[in-house]
Amino acid sequence: METPDDLKNVVREKYAAIAGQSREENASSCCGTGGCCTVDYAVFAEDYTRLKGYQKEADLGLGCGIPTEFARISAGDTVVDLGSGAGNDVFVARTIVGDSGKVIGVDMTEAMIEKARANNAKLGFHNVEFRLGDIEKLPLTAQTADVVISNCVLNLVPNKAKAFSEIFRVLKTGGHFSISDIVISGNLPRSIREAAEMYAGCVSGAIDRDAYLALITNAGFTDVRVVKVKPIHLPDELLLQYLSEDELREFRASGTAITSITIYGRKEACCPPSTGCC
């Protein structure tokens, strides 16, 4: 069984490989987003091309939603994007905050940070920053952000409770988040849960929807609601890499659902009520 550090290394290696290619190269490569040896991220990805601020070079097709749609970002806000990749959501958010705001992207993969910084250098934004860091221990001071966004990343974090406590810490009181992620209802087969490449592909790291929402409320957030739901269908040819035909039939009949959800929540107090620190 992989340790948390093992899982993080799997994710770093996978996303470092993706960072080294364009979206078109990723789509045709066995080591890319549409490759034959892992999850085809196209089943998750949304179309960003209609959005203001869209930058083709920053779109690697790795998201499962568009969190900025529901993030209620205003001009002048400080926005933090967790798992910012090549900068796709960062640049969309930058268009909304304008020159008076700031957007900070955080990613734990050095190759992604380098790619994002190179993209930003071409655009010349002086209020965009990319920081190398772990979501379980964010490189940000408390009360930094008006808004936190994240797109199909927290399912890759081993300690999700710690991740949400960090989001709470870095948000200003009165701030809020908009997060798109993958959740499940039912049970994934053991061979899928234990496959490292399925973890890096956002599937086996996903947890039960109710448990996911409970982690958010336990971290102290209020007004927590699911604002968008999108069913995800994994093709048989992918699942047959991990399941026998009998296991696949059993899985299909089980009613287990894999879903992309976008969640909104607010930070109303200076610290979680359970701590009594206020």
β-strand pairing of 128-132 with 145-151: unpaired
Predicted confidence at residue 276, as pLDDT, reads 60
Q: Return the structure tokens found at 60.
A: 């690697």
Predicted confidence at residue 28, as pLDDT, reads 42
Mean pLDDT over 208-220 rounds to 96
pLDDT digits (tens, 9 = 90+) for 156-171: 899 999 999 999 999 9
pLDDT digits (tens, 9 = 90+) for 16-40: 888 887 655 554 433 334 444 445 4
Phi, psi of 150 (to 5 degrees): -165, 145
Least confident of 18-22, 35-39, 60-64, 247-251: 35-39
The percentage of residues in the chain with a pLDDT greater than 90, rounded to a whole number, is: 60
Q: How far apart are CA 9 and CA 213, in angstroms?
A: 26
